[in-house]
Every structure is written in structure tokens, then in C-alpha cells.
Structure 1
């Protein structure tokens, strides 16, 4: 049997595995092993490649630390305070609670850097509240899924770390470049959310209270401090993204333990009056105890244990695709489009299509080395193209048949996957509109960078 026939059969086989629900990591691994057999490559090469990814990738150390940060922030109660603040600001508008959940996703993303963590955290907290508040449960779950897309765009971002590692770009610059596009994604989804809620009359309104906004904002000061600490440190160069991840983990542990100690002390102190206790309680969160930390770390380790092997095996997949000439085929197809905009939009379409069937990590590892040089050749700034690429990849989180955030939202809310699809359409239009805008206006990504 000829090699092309074997390649076709193996590819069809793993595609069937994917459609049957086999984990993406195993699907890619089966394909890599099969291709290694066809191309007569030693499996030892695969092991060496996997080792090189993590021994040479210092920047990748930030990934498990930011995942841990998100879990610490969630477990300590800081995420809940951020959600309360967002609702206090937007609850007076039709669809305010749904818009607040999108805003809370943006705030949580600015600490965690993970799309799935953002969707799971905000969805589990606010979906029940939205249903009680008069929203359709399917729309509520779809809103959490859509809000999670900004998890990989608003810095710190795990996928920006991977992209910078692959393409040898300053991760700090990528982080800063994602600020405005990420904010525009949130605002675009908020506009879509408002229109849908206004047309359907969803959501109960609350009066706009400056005092409530002030109190909830004061109660969320730890979250704002964490966001400011990360952005300040990276933007000023005080520490690298990897060091920033370590700093935020330390902050999360100190804030969680310290808040628990203060809260317990207040409950035991009989000398302070009620108003004094209330004021102090507003400034601290629920926190967690030292015995609870191993459980939090274990949860983060489980997520890292899924993502890290996926990154490694996707790197090997990219190497095999290069040997098969896939890079040349895709590259020739894109460059054959002719002018600047046809090439750029063709590259964006390829990212969008791949994002429909693959998670952002393999999409980035497979396509970035192919498309980024083509974009550079036609004059697209490498950092600008990184933002274009990853905004497009993030949209894949709510596009079937893969749509990772849809699965996460379905899992935490109990709403069946296929019932979410209809309600993601307005958010898809909003995100695609922002994506096109970011691609046409480079300053949206580059204006905050120094010496630009």
C-alpha cells in the first residue's frame, strides 16, 4: 500500500475518533504515531521533541502559574467580588446582569489568562442568578461561553505565551497589544447582549446606586490590585511574564490566607462593634485555609496536565506536517490570493476554519509558523498579526463542532450543548466584527506599545 493511501487512511481514522469524542490530545497523538510509522521516523524523535518543548521553553513556565492564579482568585472569593461590582455598574440597563457577566469575564480574564477557567468560573457563579433574574437559561449559558473567549486575549494570556514562544516575539509586547482588542471584544458582546435582551424583555432592572457601585468596587479592590500589578509589572518591564505569573500566585496565596485569618479573627472578636466589623469584612474576601491549598493546586495541575501534553504533541504534529509539505501547500495557497487584503483575509479565514475543529493551542502551533511569515512579507507587523491570529482563534471557542467553551458552559450549567448554539450567533457576529476592525486598524493593537 502506498504512503499517500496510508496517510489518507490514518487521517480518516483519527477524524472518526475525533467525531466519536476521543480527546483531542489522543487524536493528535494517534495521528503523529501513525505518520511516524509511514514516514519511517523513530518514535525516539517524538520523545526528544516533547522534552525540548519544556526544557527550552522558559516562557511556558508561566502557563501553569497563571492557571493556578485563576483557581486561587476563584476559591478566595475575589472573582465573586468582581462580578458584584460589574452588576452594580450595569444592573440598571436592560440585560444588565448578562452584560455584567461579560464584564466579569473580562475582569477575571485579566487575572487568569484562560478561556475555559473564565467560562467555568463566571458561568457557575452567574448562570443561576441570571435564570432567577428572568433570563432564558440557554441564553445565560451561551453568554458565559461567549464571555470566556476573551480569556486568551486580555492579558495575561496563556496562548500569547505559547505564540511568543513559537515565533520568538516579546511576550510582554503581546500582552500589551491584547488590551484594547480584548476590551473591544467585551464591548462588542455587551452591545449584542443588550440588543437581544431588549428585544426579548429579559432581565430585571435594579436602580443605579453610586453608593452600591462604590461599595462593591471597594470590596473588589484585591481583584483590581491583582490586575494592576500584572499590567504594571509587565508594561514597565519590572518583571517578565513568567515572573509576573509567580508574583500573582504569591499574591493569590497571601490574599486568600490573609482574608481567611482576618475574617476568623473578626468572628471571634467581641470587642469591635458591628459597623467596624462590617467595614473590615467588606475589604477582605472569604479566603481559604492552608489545608485547602493542595486541593486548589491539584485542580490547576489537572488543567495543566491536559494543556501541556497537547502543546508538546502539537509541536511534533507541526514538524510532521512540515515534512509532508503542508506548510508549502497552505503557504502557496495563501500567497496566490495576490494583494495585501486578499492574503490577509484568506489567512484569517484559514484560522477561523481550523478553529472550528481544533483547540486554540494546536491551531496556533500548526498555523502560526506558516501564516506569520507570509503576513510579515506583505508588511503586517508581527505583533499586530499575532493579535489578529489569536482573536480569530478565540472565536473558535464558540463555533461548532468543537467550541470548547460551549462544552464547558454546558458542563457547569447543565444546559445541553446543542441548545446553546442558537444563542451564540449574535455573539459570533459581534466578535467577527471586532476581529475585522482589529485587522484593519493596526493601532488598536499597537498604540500602547512603546516606540511604536
Structure 2
């Protein structure tokens, strides 16, 4: 039996494991070990690479931003941001739904996690939307869609991983994600407004400047946290890792001594939750580095590259890359999708004339859309879990948001200034 046939059988076997629910870390690990044995790639190198794959200073930001999201939620700051958003938008039909999406954007600017954004804002805003006259399934779909910006609006955990894999400056990736992330928020808010207006959903509250001022003052801690991250990174005062460290410290102090919603005895539980999530992500990143080595050795990147570049026209090549990202996003979570495809597709896009930073934004926006694309759609599962509404019921109501985000994605892909203008303004690109 040839090596190619053995690798194909191993790939089919691990695909079956994935379908039946085996954790993706083990799926990739089985593939790595099996293919290593087939091609006589020493397993000792696997162990060394697993260790060295995580020996990167920038990756320290990963657990710190995860911890920041947990602390911001526990401190009650996320709830105050949501109240402020509603006081600003509640006078519009669909204002509470729009406020939920806006709150997702603000929380994303602190936490950098899509599932964390969906879970945190969803647990706060879904009961409020249900009481406020919205269809409960539409409310769940709105929260799931809003969470997609968690990995686009900086700081972003997946941008950190992408920058690590492709050796791109993380701070520049963060800057490039700002306007596309805002465009996604605006598109989803407009979609929510149209649907709510059509169905008459949502109670309208009076425009009250005093209420806006009051809720804005109560939410000041959230604005300070956002300022620390944004100003610290973009002024050059902090690296992304240092900004994450400072924000964690601020969140602890704010929760313990200002809002007083975090107790000393609850800190171990919060840290354990953050550690649990990090413990799932870090091994996956490590094993993915080995996977990249093996894919390179067996020529997978060259094969896919020749297949796509053979299409000839740069526009068709970019569209093919986008379709591949979206197709993978329907069945894979963003991290393995990025780990597997980004090192293969980024060089192809570069040869087609696409700026590496611009393609990073294109790739990760497509990745984000995968969060609400069946049959996987991680945010749909998270929204289902926190609301108790069946998965497929939410899918039907998320389709308008999916369409709106796809339109924004196409604009981002074929109008590079949306991603690069801030870098050019800063003299970085």
C-alpha cells in the first residue's frame, strides 16, 4: 500500500473521529502521529516541536485576554455597558436588539473572544429582549450573530494566533481589524432594525439624555478598560501581551474595590475557568505547529497552491480562497480552521497581489461568519446552551444576519482601504 493511500485512510479515520465528537486536539494529534509514522518522521521531533510551538512571548496574551473577559463579566462591567447601549438606542424600534449587538462590540474590545462575547452578553441581554417584546428565538439569533465580532474587533485572540502562525505584527493586525469589525456591527444593527420594524418587536423607551448620562457614568470602568487596551497598544506604550496584563490587573482592582462584585474567595473559581479555556486552546496551537510541518513535508500546501493559482485570474483566486475558508468554517471552529488553512492560503493570496495584513482580515472575517453557519456554528450552540432554545430554531432566524455579514465580507475583500486605511494613516503600511 502506498504512502498516499495510507495517509488518505488515516485522514478518513480522523474525520470519522471528528464527526462522532472526539475533541479536535485528539483528532489532529492522531493524524500527526499516524502520518509521522507513515513518512518516517521521527516522533522525537514531535515532542520537541510541541514544546517549542508555545515558546512565543506573544502567545502570553491569549490566556490574559481570556481572563480579562471573565473578570469584566464577574465585576458587573459587561452589564453596565449593556445598560448604556440600551439607553442610547432604546428609542428606536429594535433598539434593545441593536443595543445587544453594540454591547457585543464593546465587550469584544476588551475580551477578544467570540464564544465569550456570546455567552456573556447573551446571558445578560436575552432575558431582557424576551421581556422587552422580542421573539425569544430571534433574540437568541441576535446574540449569536453579535458574538461574531469577538474575534475581529481588537484585541482578538485569533488575530494573535494568526500573527504567530504567519509571523505578522499583532499590533498591525489589531489596527486592521477595527473598521471591518465596526462595519460588521453596523450591518447587523441595521438588519436587526429592519426585522424588528417589520414584525413590530421591541418596546420603545423615551430618549432621555439624563438616563444616557447616568448609565454612561456607571459604565465608565468598561470605557477605561477599552482605553487601556486601545491606547496602550496603538500608542506603542504596551505590546499586546503587556496591555493584556495591565487590563487583567485593572479588572481585578475594579471588581474587588470599585464595583465590589468580585469577592476574594471567588477569584480562584474565575481563574480556574480562564485556565480551563486556555488549557483547551494551548495544546491545540502546539499540535498544529507539528501539523504544519508535516503538511509541508508531504507537499499539501504546494498541491492546494497549484490548484488555486491555476485558476489564473487574481480575483478568481481570492474568491476561491474565501470559499475554502467559509466551507471549512461550516464544520470547523475558528482556531483549527486558522491553523490548518492560513499557512496554506496566505502565500497563495500574496502571489495574487493581496496585502498580507488585508488577507488576514479577509480570512478571519470569513472565519467569524463560520460561527453562525450550519452545520457547526459555534455561536449557535453557545446561544442554544444559554437560552435552552433548540439549535435549528435559532438557525432559521440567523439567516438575515448571515446575509448581511456576507455582504460586508465581500466589501472588505474587494475594497482594501477598509482594512488598511488606519495602517496607512499611522504610517505602518
Normalising by structure 2, we get a TM-score of 0.96
Residues 302-352 of structure 1, C-alpha deviations (whole Å, 9 max, x = no match) = 110111111112222222222222101111122112122111111111111
Size of the aligned set, in residue pairs, is: 426
In 1, Cα distance between the equivalents of 2:297 and 2:331?
A: 22
21-30 or 92-101, which deviates more: 21-30
1:388 paired with 2:362, answer: yes
Matches within 5 A, 1:224-243: 224-243=223-242
Look up the match of 2:184.
Answer: 185
Residues 394-434 of structure 1, C-alpha deviations (whole Å, 9 max, x = no match) = 11111122211111111111112122111111111111111
Query: Are the aligned partners of 2:54 and 2:285 in contact in 1 as well (CA < 8 Å)?
Result: no
66-75 or 124-133, which deviates more: 124-133
218-227 or 40-49, which deviates more: 40-49
> Which residues of structure 1 form unaligned runs of 5+?
260-284
Look up the match of 1:269.
Answer: none
Shift of 1:139: 1.3
SS of equivalent residue, structure 1 residue 130: helix
In 1, Cα distance between the equivalents of 2:14 and 2:356?
A: 33
State which of 243, 257, 265 in structure 2 corresponds to 1:291. 265
In 1, Cα distance between the equivalents of 2:6 and 2:385?
A: 37
Change (3 A) 1:290 1:126: same
Shift of 1:448: 1.3
Query: Are the aligned partners of 2:254 and 2:260 in contact in 1 as well (CA < 8 Å)?
Result: no
Matches within 5 A, 1:401-412: 401-412=375-386
1:53 paired with 2:27, answer: no
SS of equivalent residue, structure 2 residue 330: helix
Look up the match of 2:333.
Answer: 359
In 1, Cα distance between the equivalents of 2:153 and 2:379?
A: 16
Look up the match of 1:370.
Answer: 344
Look up the match of 2:92.
Answer: 93
Look up the match of 2:416.
Answer: 442
In 1, Cα distance between the equivalents of 2:97 and 2:288?
A: 36
In 1, Cα distance between the equivalents of 2:75 and 2:3?
A: 55
SS of equivalent residue, structure 1 residue 93: coil
In 2, Cα distance between the equivalents of 1:443 and 1:207?
A: 38
331-340 or 237-246, which deviates more: 331-340
Normalising by structure 1, we get a TM-score of 0.92
What do you get for the CA RMSD once the two structures are aligned? 1.3
Query: Are the aligned partners of 2:110 and 2:225 in contact in 1 as well (CA < 8 Å)?
Result: yes
SS of equivalent residue, structure 1 residue 357: coil
Matches within 5 A, 1:238-257: 238-257=237-256
User: Could you say which structure has the larger radius of gyration?
Assistant: 1
The runs of 4+ residues in structure 1 deviating greater than 4 Å are none
In 2, Cα distance between the equivalents of 1:410 and 1:320?
A: 37
Residues 92-134 of structure 1, C-alpha deviations (whole Å, 9 max, x = no match) = 1111111111100000000000111001101111111111112
Matches within 5 A, 1:150-165: 150-165=149-164
Look up the match of 1:30.
Answer: 30
Residues 130-162 of structure 1, C-alpha deviations (whole Å, 9 max, x = no match) = 111122222111111111110010000011111
Shift of 1:87: 0.7
Shift of 1:286: 4.4
Look up the match of 2:398.
Answer: 424
In 2, Cα distance between the equivalents of 1:90 and 1:117?
A: 23
In 2, Cα distance between the equivalents of 1:231 and 1:168?
A: 22
SS of equivalent residue, structure 2 residue 248: helix
SS of equivalent residue, structure 2 residue 49: helix
SS of equivalent residue, structure 2 residue 418: helix
In 1, Cα distance between the equivalents of 2:11 and 2:37?
A: 13
1:19 paired with 2:19, answer: yes
440-449 or 104-113, which deviates more: 440-449
In 2, Cα distance between the equivalents of 1:319 and 1:357?
A: 23
> Which residues of structure 2 form unaligned runs of 5+?
none
